[in-house]
Each structure stands twice: as structure tokens, then as C-alpha cells.
Structure 1
């Protein structure tokens, strides 16, 4: 099995070394590490830091894009250049436990198109919280929300990546969620319920912090889910959850409270089955400015 690690990076001189180092420390070594510099404007600092982090034994290729293409496009470009039959995606400001690839490999079978791990969110104070991937043997979980997490948690069969057309670069956000939906239709997704992916908050310029992109991307994908994936008898239920979900996402990811109160109050009166009273009350308090997001 040949695994290629693909790392998109833009203006990440301070953290790119950490990502490359954790890929180099894997107990099952990848055949290559591909860094796609997404038109960084830091006078070559990101590329220089990536080259400085190279370790003998695992080839590191650096693809420098002349202009910013966006992380999903950079990932597509990196995968197109990859030699491996499996692709391990790694964001430049994330990290992995040393056994991450080995434990994913152990779950691969002929019908598996992707393997996810859980994600540990570091709080910067020596602690953190864990996101557990939910059971997606039933596609319904992914119809409501991204239950699998971000790109750094996944290893994808190269043939499946190509078959579904890679990441949809027309989406302003939610490209990862869209990809997981496409992969679920292409085969089986395996889950490793251990927090082997590490999410840090020291990277800048995350698309998840841009309220315009977040809102537009979610609305486009919501419509796509209802038209392409959801059974007819579930559309009303999914659409009702989407209003609450978007309000949560905007408040907690971007800090935008405007417009969150109405869907929160509606959910308090008629709770959706995928929500809790506590989460609804917390959203109301945050929307009113009584609780910090």
C-alpha cells in the first residue's frame, strides 16, 4: 500500500513544519509528502519553512501555485500529482498522532473508500475536547450535518477520489462535507473511534471564519442534499434542522449572532430530534449576547 500525504498551505510558515514533522513520524511511513503552496504572499516564508522541515527518507515535493486557488483546489492539485493509491489529507495547521495512518490501514477492506479518525481539538492550555465521528453506516447522519469532521481526519482511496471528481471548488465552503457525501455513495466509510487527528487554533485565514462564505456554502449544500440525497419523506425534517444548524454554525464558527434568535426560538417551541434543550437555550443566550460564543 502506497500512501501519499497532501498538505495545502497558504501563509503558514509558523505551523507547516509541525504538519510535515507529524507525517514523518508515522509508524507506517507514507511514500511521499506533497505540500501545495496556495499562492502564499509571505515572501516565500511558507515554502522555506516547508523545505526546512524535510527529513531524509520521505520525499517532500513542494508545488508552488502562482495565484491563490483555495484549499479545495490545492488539494485536488496535490492529489493529481500524487503517486500513492491512498491519499492522506493534512491541513497545514493540524497534526496527527504517530499511529494515525497505521490504525487507519488496519480498517481497510475491499469495499472501503475512506477511513476517518476522531479529532482532538486542542484548547491551547494543555487540554482539549474530542469530536467522535458518528456511525454513518446509515447515510442519514450526513444528510443533517458533517458528522465526520475535517480533511485531516481522512484517508481516501485514490480511485474513489478520482471517481467522484475530487473536491467541488465551486462551493464557497462545506467542500469537505460535500466530499464525504459523494464518497459515501461510492462505497463504505470506515471509522476509527480514536482521537488521532489533532486540530489546533493557531492557523490564520480559515474559511470557516468567513461568515459570507460559510452561509453561502451551507445554503448551496443544503439545497444539494435535499435535491440529490434526501428521500422525499425526509426533506421537511431535514430542512427544519438546517435552519437551526446554520444559526449554530454562524454563531459558533464566525461569531455572527444576527438572525440566530428566530430559528433558536422556533426550535425551543418545537424541538428537532437532533437537538437538545440545552443547546437551544445556549444558542438563544449567545444570540442575545448573554453568553460569549
Structure 2
């Protein structure tokens, strides 16, 4: 008989919206971890499909794992849904997973070890379209990089479905903010003097459909507007200098325009 996996003090929070096709794979990737989380909290953001039914069936099938279902009073976006689950979390750490993503089986094991070793407030890791098999001890010794506010202004390597944070009060996603609410929170954490470590190991992937072409996706435009708003807010609060504001804002706009041009050219070629 195989030994049951160790339970670790991590609360996994999964915001869900019309996720009936992907939520089972996301949940499977959590219950199949080499170290079992204390609990899984699924927060439904007023789905119109069978998302909740799929979760309920899954929870009955894997009754050995604590799986809770909470419902938002109204559709308010993934940030608010994560906050509701975060407020209810009992673990010493919280880990976020989007309902169309999934984890490598050793994700919690490796990431929790990094969190405990460095005592950092937050950590993230690399994502890949195709997750590798199980890592041995040699392969698991990946580069660990400290993320600074200066780097975050120009490159965001912190993906929400890869994040683990200490479960402490004082930080939450901005309520009602639907775009770049994660980036806004990472800045809050780092500018408060907390550390964030990036683990250069592929421990999560995407199972949902590919994003719409950049030239046509209205969400991409809204994301860029939200990012620019974050930069301006950081300047108003004197967390960045005027040169940093212009540099970060200009660099982001250049990438945005370049992506739209790439998208337009690919569609034209097609």
C-alpha cells in the first residue's frame, strides 16, 4: 500500500467562472500533488454553466481532500474571488490557481521548500506549455532569483497561477479591479519591504484555449491601460521617480504596439 502524501499548511484558492470544461483538470493537478494541501477553496464568480456541479462531483470522488465551494454575491472578477477565498483560508500559506491552468505534481513540494528556506513573503516559478515528468534531486536544484521592484517595472515574471504567499493580513487584490490586479498586488508587497523569490523551474501550465490575437483582443487593450494606471499611481505615491515612470511606461507601450503589429501581420498572412 502506498503511503498517503504529507499534508502541508497551504490553502489553494481557485477562482472559477464558466469553467466546467477545465476545472476538473485544475483540481486533479492539486489532489495529485506529492504533498497534499490543507484545503482547496473554489470560489465561483456567478458562473452560468455547470462549474459548481463539476466541482461537487469531484469533491465527492476525492472526499479525502478538503474541498470547499464558495459563491460570490455578484460577478466581480477573479481578484475579488481570490480575496474571498483568501479571507477564509486556514493555511499558513496561500497558493493561487486559475481554473484553466494546472500544476506539476511537485509544485507545492518545491515551492514550499523555497518559501521556508528563504523566509520570503512570496514566490513564483516558471511556466511551460508542456510540463516535464517528475524531477529527481539533481534536476530540482533550479536557479532561485530575487525579484526587485526595478525588474517588475519592465518584466513581470510573477504569474498568478504560479504564486504562493504567506497567509498574513494587510495584502489583498484590489477589489473590483479586473485587469492587472495581480501586478498591482506584487508592487504593494515589494514596496512594503517584503521579498519575492522566483524559482526557475517549470511547475505550471495552461490547459485552456489560447488567447485571442493581440490585435483583436479588447482585453489586451484594457490590460495595457490598467498597467499604465499602475505606473502613474506608483509615481503619485512617490514610489518611483519621474525617469522610472517614463521608462517603464514607454517600454510597456512599445511592447504593446509591437504585439499588435505582430498580431495584425499574422492575421493578414493567414
Q: Scaled by the length of structure 1, what TM-score is found?
A: 0.74
Residue 182 of structure 2 is matched in structure 1 by 176
Residue 266 of structure 1 is matched in structure 2 by none
CA deviation digits over 1:25-52, x for unaligned, max 9?
Answer: 111110110000110112xx10010112
Look up the SS of the partner of 2:40 in the other structure. strand
Of 41, 48, 54, which aligns to 2:48?
41
Greater Cα offset, 2-11 or 240-249: 240-249
Residue 223 of structure 1 is matched in structure 2 by 232
- Give the alignment's Cα RMSD to 1 decimal: 2.9
1:32 aligns with 2:42: no
Q: Where in structure 2 are the equivalents of 1:71-220 lying within 5 Å?
A: 71-108=78-115, 109=117, 111-121=119-129, 135-148=145-158, 150-159=159-168, 162-164=169-171, 166-186=172-192, 187-202=194-209, 210-220=219-229
TM superposition shift of 1:154: 0.6
Look up the SS of the partner of 1:167 in the other structure. coil
TM superposition shift of 1:141: 1.0
Change (3 A) 1:236 1:211: closer
TM superposition shift of 1:83: 0.8
* Residues 121 and 165 in structure 2, CA contact (< 8 A), matched pair in contact too: yes
Greater Cα offset, 218-227 or 12-21: 218-227
* Residues 22 and 207 in structure 2, CA contact (< 8 A), matched pair in contact too: no
Change (3 A) 1:25 1:242: same
The separation in 2 between residues aligned to 1:203 and 1:233, in whole angstroms, is: 35
TM superposition shift of 1:212: 4.9
Look up the SS of the partner of 1:210 in the other structure. helix
The separation in 2 between residues aligned to 1:51 and 1:175, in whole angstroms, is: 29
Q: Scaled by the length of structure 2, what TM-score is found?
A: 0.80
The separation in 2 between residues aligned to 1:202 and 1:292, in whole angstroms, is: 22
Change (3 A) 1:74 1:237: same
Change (3 A) 1:191 1:37: same
TM superposition shift of 1:90: 0.4
Change (3 A) 1:173 1:234: same
Greater Cα offset, 138-147 or 49-58: 138-147
Look up the SS of the partner of 2:227 in the other structure. helix
Residue 52 of structure 1 is matched in structure 2 by 57
The separation in 2 between residues aligned to 1:239 and 1:10, in whole angstroms, is: 31
Look up the SS of the partner of 1:30 in the other structure. strand
* Residues 119 and 195 in structure 1, CA contact (< 8 A), matched pair in contact too: yes
* Residues 9 and 91 in structure 2, CA contact (< 8 A), matched pair in contact too: yes
* Residues 173 and 214 in structure 1, CA contact (< 8 A), matched pair in contact too: yes
CA deviation digits over 1:91-125, x for unaligned, max 9?
Answer: 001000000000001112464001111111359xx
TM superposition shift of 1:238: 2.3
* Residues 167 and 179 in structure 1, CA contact (< 8 A), matched pair in contact too: yes
The separation in 2 between residues aligned to 1:134 and 1:232, in whole angstroms, is: 31
Of 70, 75, 78, which aligns to 2:77?
70
